[in-house]
Chains A and B, each alone.
Chain A
Amino acid sequence: MEITAQEFKHCDLITIKGRVDSATAPQMAQALETANESGKYKLAVDMGALEYMSSAGFRALLAAQRNCKKYNRGEVVLVNVPARIREALELAGFTELFKTFDDTLTAVGHF
C-alpha cells in the first residue's frame, strides 16, 4: 500500500494505492490521523488505484469520518471507488456514511 497527500485550497486529497488489509490499514489510519492533527478535516480519498480493501480499511475510514465530521468541521468523501470495493462497502452499509464522487475534480470542488 502506498499513500500520498496533496494540499488544495479547500481540502486535502489523499491517494491510496495497492491493498489495504489488517497489515496495512494502520498505516492508512495513521495518514488520516496525521491530516487531522495538522488541522485538516476536509479530506477527499482517491481510491482509483486501490486494488483491495478489507473491513480493516473500512474501520479506518469510519474512524476518520467520525473525527472529521465532529463540530461540523469537515468530512471524508470517497473518489473513484473501484467496483469490487464499492460492492463490499455497500454490503457493509458504508455507502450511506460517505459521499462518493466519480472524479477527483468534482470531489475537490465539493468543498
Chain B
Amino acid sequence: MQSVQFTAKFEFLDEIREFVGDIARAGGFGAKDVYNIQLAADEAASNIIEHAYEGVSNGLMELSCGVSGNVITIILVDHGESFDPSAIPLPDLKADLSERKIGGLGIFLMRKLMDEVHYEIKPNKGNILTMIKRKG
C-alpha cells in the first residue's frame, strides 16, 4: 500500500487520478479498468472536497492505494463532516430531462465502477472510504 496526503482541493484531482492510475497500471490492470478506477477515485475525492470539507479550505485527505493479487484497494480518509455515500439515494436513471436530479451521480458511478464500496466513521480516526475492484 502506498499513501499520499492531499489538501482537499479540486486542483489536486489530476494528481489523485495519476496516483491511483500508476498503481493500477503497474499492478496489471488494463486500460479500461485503469480509467474506471481513476474515475471512481476522482468521484470519491470530489465528494469529500465538496461535502465533507464544505466551506473548509485547508482540509486534508489521505489516499492509500495498492494491488494485491488481482485486487486493487483504494482507501480515502478525511476528517471532515461524516458523509455516508450509501445513505444517498440512487439517481433515477429513467427520469426524463426535466426531472433528472443533479446530485448523487458521483456516488452512483463509484458503486457501479468498483466491486465494493465501504464507509466507516471512526471517532478520532476520521471517515474511511474503502473501494475495491477485481481484475476482469
Contact = CB atoms under 8 A, between A and B. Distances in A.
Contacts of B49: 22
A23 B93 contact: no
Given A21-B42, A22-B49, A66-B97, A55 B109 contact: yes
A23 B39 contact: no
Interface in B38-60: 38-39, 42-43, 46, 49-50
Contact of B43 (A55, A65, A66): A55
A97 interface: yes
A54 B46 contact: yes
A65 B59 CA distance: 34
A87 B10 CA distance: 24
A52 B17 contact: yes
Contacts of B35: 52, 84
Interface stretch (B67-75, B81-89, B100-108): B100-108
B17 A55 contact: no
A5 interface: no
Interface residues of B, number: 28
B48 to A, nearest CB: 11
Interface residues of A, number: 22
A42 to B, nearest CB: 16
A54 B91 CA distance: 16
A50 interface: no
Given A22-B49, A93-B93, A58 B32 contact: no
The residue in A52, A54, A62, A91 that gathers the most chain B C-beta atoms within 10 A of its C-beta is A54
A69 interface: yes
Contact of B102 (A22, A62, A84, A97): A62
A22 B109 CA distance: 15
A22 B113 contact: no
11 contacts: A21-B14, A22-B42, A23-B11, A55-B46, A55-B105, A56-B46, A88-B39, A91-B112, A92-B91, A92-B108, A97-B97
Q: Which 3 A-B pairs have the closest CB atoms?
A: A93-B93, A23-B10, A55-B105
Given A21-B13, A52-B17, A55-B46, 8 more contacts: A21-B10, A54-B43, A54-B46, A59-B105, A63-B102, A91-B109, A91-B112, A93-B94
